[in-house]
Amino acid sequence: MLGETIATLGDLIAFPTVSTDPNLDMIAYLADRLEAAGARVEVLADAGGAKANLWASLGPETDGGIVLSGHTDVVPVADQDWTSDPFAMAERDGRIYGRGTCDMKGFIACCLTLAPTLAGAVRTRPLHFAFTHDEETGCIGATHLVADLKRRDTRPALAIIGEPTGMRVVEGHKGCYEYSTHFAGLEGHGSTPDAGVNAVEYAARYVARLLDLKDRLKARAPAGSRFDPPWTTINVGASKGGSAHNIIAGRARVDWEMRPVAKPDADFVKADLAGFVADTLLPAMQAVHSEAAIALETIAEVAGLEPMDNNAARALVAELTGANAAHVVPFGTEAGLFQSLGLDAVVCGPGSIEQAHKADEFVAIDQLRACLDMLQRLGDRL
């Protein structure tokens, strides 16, 4: 079974499902494998037709099912120094190398390998597979999938998201809110800066406000927060604008994100920035040029996974893995979206987040074995 999982992982790695590219070939492969195992398979294409989610079910068409969830997309490999082809599996020293091995095609390979066994085990409780697109660019596929599930007559009860946790049970993580703020000023000659509206300068003042908020959020850390760091964070990822040394910059953009511990922190940041723009930046810009503008573009607002006193998914996976503790992590997953649907959710999967997104990404074979063991025990409880 381990050998089949490694071979399947090799197949999955060979699909170059970078988020900017289609994932339909991989979705077709997953659909074929799950249909062969006896699953009812739905391919749910996005509006553009180049991306799709896959939803597959085993067992009765009733409420209360268990979801095994993973994303099909991977991050780019451009400008990374790989020692082997990132889209061709390499095995050495007890590890499987390739883009997506731990994030998170290793988990998907385990699900495919065990699907026939799980199909034979299902009796009174459904088992669902949810394989999504564009997790790496804002959980776009899972957002669409959850909206679709809300419209259905039957609803699952638990979700296990197989992101790389070293097979530890993770019951909580921060949210991930990503934005681009666009500045439109007025170009002019650099020798007369007061005659124009320098978008880069106003973008810099906006970044300074973000940095001020970044420090202020530390004082809002909840007492007893288990996150590391314990407060909501802000990161300025990119700032772009202008065209030449001697031209007043007419356009600028700031790409930034925050990882809220709780939604009130996100509301606090957005309200503060909106007030700063409306009361300070825009009046100064429009005093020179009435058509100057600042626009906030929301790239993604993905809810965090909130730890709960009673979490049936946590209890189940702790039983399956033998874990006696549950953890929180700083990175985001699709788990909060499933939780927003009313499901109990937990994150547990093979590999380490320390290897994700890097050159020579890998998953240890022992981690795949542990994941297979967890899923086999799940079959015993279906």
Tell me if residue 306 is catalytic.
no
Greatest extent of the chain over all pairs of C-alpha atoms, in Å: 77
Q: Which phi and psi (to 5°) does residue 170 adopt? A: -115, 125
Tell me if residue 366 is catalytic.
no
Q: Which phi and psi (to 5°) does residue 187 adopt? A: -70, 160
Grouping H, G, I as helix, E, B as strand and the rest as coil, residue 67 is strand
β-pairing, 40-45 vs 95-97, is unpaired
297, burial (CB in 10 Å: exposed 0-12, middle 13-18, buried 19+) = exposed
Q: What is the C-alpha R_g of the chain?
A: 23
What is the enclosing helix (H) or strand (E) of 183? strand 176-184
Catalytic annotation, pick one of 103, 134, 135, 344: 135
Catalytic annotation, pick one of 11, 46, 61, 73: 73
The CA distance from 112 to 82, in Å, is: 27
The CA distance from 128 to 112, in Å, is: 12
Residues classed as catalytic: 73, 135
